[in-house]
Amino acid sequence: MDQMQGTTRIIYDSNDFGTTNNFYSFFSAVSSKNSITETNLNDNRFEPGEGMVIKEIVIASRDATNGAEFDDSIQFSTLDVVIGNNRVIKGLPLLAGNGSFGINAITGRPNLKIWSIRLLNNIVIPPQIQFFVNLQAPTVGAATAGNALNLRVFLKGYGKLFNPRNNY
């Protein structure tokens, strides 16, 4: 990847925070999502010649309807990152990172909670290798049928883009 163009890279994927499960897999079904609000990838592998080094993982919990309260137990979740057949991060607690929240100006209640984990080691996603992130929550979500709570995972870092020209 030495002859590729360097870039800043942020990729994300979303899942509904449902009432029936406490295990969420991100980036494993991005091809079935068609909205830029859900994901910014078409596949859970990079194109030939592309790659990424993950420097930070961000988990965002959002109340889309502004009518529901958050289940605060999500902060006690653990995170796994799998690249190819290798689990490169295992059982990383969200509480190991920094947390913050946003207040909705209309309701005065939090409508966004964010956990950010800065990685001390480089995690490399090579070209054409599948990757996904699993989040294991301690309890089932507190969302109800009328409320739209969702979780989003951001992988932030730097990457390489394919550059067919050798010189500029």
CA pair distance 128, 49, nearest whole angstrom? 8
Task: Give domain limits for the chain.
Answer: 23-55+66-161
CA pair distance 34, 60, nearest whole angstrom? 20
Q: Which of 81, 161, 164, 76 is nearest to 127 (CA)?
A: 161
CA pair distance 14, 39, nearest whole angstrom? 6
Q: Which residue has the higher pLDDT, 1 or 87?
A: 87
Report the range of poorest mean pLDDT among 40-49, 56-65, 85-94, 152-161.
56-65
Quick check: 112 pLDDT over 80?
Answer: no
Banded pLDDT at 77 (limits 50, 70, 90): confident
